[in-house]
Amino acid sequence: MRQDHLITATQLSRDDIEAVLDRARAVADDPAAYADRHAGRVLALCFFEPSTRTRMSFDSAAKRLGMNTIGMGDVDSSSVSKGESLSDTVRVIEGYADALVLRHPSEGAATLAGERVDVPVVNAGDGAGQHPSQTLLDLHTIREDHGLDDLTIGIMGDLKYGRTVHSLAAALTEFDANQHFISPESLRLPRSVRFDLHETGAQIREHEELEPVLDELDVLYVTRIQKERFPDENEYHRVAGEYRIDAETLEAAADDLTVMHPLPRVDEIAPDVDETDHARYFEQAHNGIPVRMALLDTLLENANPDGDEGMEVDR
């Protein structure tokens, strides 16, 4: 991958994706070989909205590469609450760190940050936009189970605001994948995402119900339908209930169906699914470590092309 930043999944070619996933596999096989690779380097975790797993996952991945991490603390008590622009904030933090991971509530925030700084920027979620590092770990999980070609995947839930969905759908167009999108009418894929999918000639179909396509699927990727997307709470309960799965739902599925979820889940996947052979969402979350290690390693290597793999330290 010869990229300076990771902003959107649409920037990634099949070769880019496979290179990171190959490296993730190597990291998973021999983590000790990567332990001091970026010792002395610093990763800034710039989270402008709450995040638990993405932040901790990057934090852990960086530390396992020998890096230190710095964060902004609570946004309410930081300079952001004093009205500083994102442009200024990232320019300042650029001087403190060798790479930035950014989570921000506005779409396009990571693009802006990437234009303002010279160190690598990873988009860890920009509003309802993109979340490409999640996509890499999703693809890693799918690849380990099924491979990435000749794949039939169902993506279900909130497709309109779900940034993990937007990134995953874009990345899958680089592979031979049939994509089925299952959602209520009001939460269909946004126009911009459908535009990109059609531009690539991707094979996609949209449905309002899971049942007619369930038995064709290799992977079912479930996302959370959020209450705040509905003006009326009764409407939310009615709609969300139709996109909930349990072990009984999955009796109609192929034996080797993989069920994934970017987490956190609320009740869209019943706990009884956890005990089935289909459940893969916890492994999926765990895959965030080798994949984000591989991603950071790649971006830092691109940013420091002199063969310097971080500063050697005596231990």
Partner 1 sequence: MSEHELRVSKIRDGTVIDHVEAGQALNVLAILGIDGSEGFGVSVGMNVPSDRLGRKDIVKVEDRELSQSEVDVLSLIAPEATINIVRDFEVVEKNRVTRPDSVTGVLSCPNRNCITNADEPIETRFDVVADGVRCDYCATILRADIADHIDV
Dihedral class, residue 68 (left if φ above 0, else alpha if ψ from -120 to 50, else beta):
beta
CA dist., res. 197 & res. 204, Å (int): 8
> What single letter denotes the amino acid at residue 148?
L
Cβ proximity to partner 1, 168 vs 217, nearer residue: 168
- Using CB under 8 A as the binding rule, whether residue 11 contacts partner 1 is answered as no
- Using CB under 8 A as the binding rule, whether residue 226 contacts partner 1 is answered as no
Under 8 Å between Cβ of 219 and 250: no
Interacting residue with partner 1 among 192, 200, 211, 237 (CB under 8 A): 192
Provide, rounded to whole angstroms, the least separation between the CB of residue 81 and partner 1. 13
Cβ proximity to partner 1, 71 vs 127, nearer residue: 127
> What single letter denotes the amino acid at residue 158?
D
Stretch that binds partner 1, among 123-131, 212-220, 233-241, 268-276 (CB under 8 A): 123-131
Question: What secondary structure letter does DSSP report for 201?
Answer: T
Interacting residue with partner 1 among 126, 138, 158, 218 (CB under 8 A): 126
Cβ proximity to partner 1, 131 vs 278, nearer residue: 131
Under 8 Å between Cβ of 289 and 60: yes
Q: Rounded to whole angstroms, what are the CA distances from 289 to 1, 32, 219?
A: 19, 13, 22
Provide, rounded to whole angstroms, the least separation between the CB of residue 80 and partner 1. 11
Provide, rounded to whole angstroms, the least separation between the CB of residue 85 and partner 1. 5
Cβ proximity to partner 1, 176 vs 199, nearer residue: 199
Interacting residue with partner 1 among 75, 128, 254, 270 (CB under 8 A): 128
| Nearest Cα to Cα of residue 270 among 293, 243, 292, 294 | 243
Q: Rounded to whole angstroms, what are the CA distances from 215 to 108, 111, 148, 150, 249?
A: 37, 39, 19, 15, 11
- Using CB under 8 A as the binding rule, whether residue 106 contacts partner 1 is answered as yes
Interacting residue with partner 1 among 46, 93, 101, 112 (CB under 8 A): 112
Cα 74 → chain centroid: 23
- Using CB under 8 A as the binding rule, whether residue 68 contacts partner 1 is answered as no
Under 8 Å between Cβ of 259 and 220: yes
- Using CB under 8 A as the binding rule, whether residue 96 contacts partner 1 is answered as no
Provide, rounded to whole angstroms, the least separation between the CB of residue 199 and partner 1. 9
| Nearest Cα to Cα of residue 88 among 42, 46, 41, 122 | 46
- Using CB under 8 A as the binding rule, whether residue 108 contacts partner 1 is answered as yes
Q: Which residues bind partner 1 (CB under 8 A)?
A: 8, 83, 85-87, 104-109, 111-112, 126-129, 191-193, 195-196
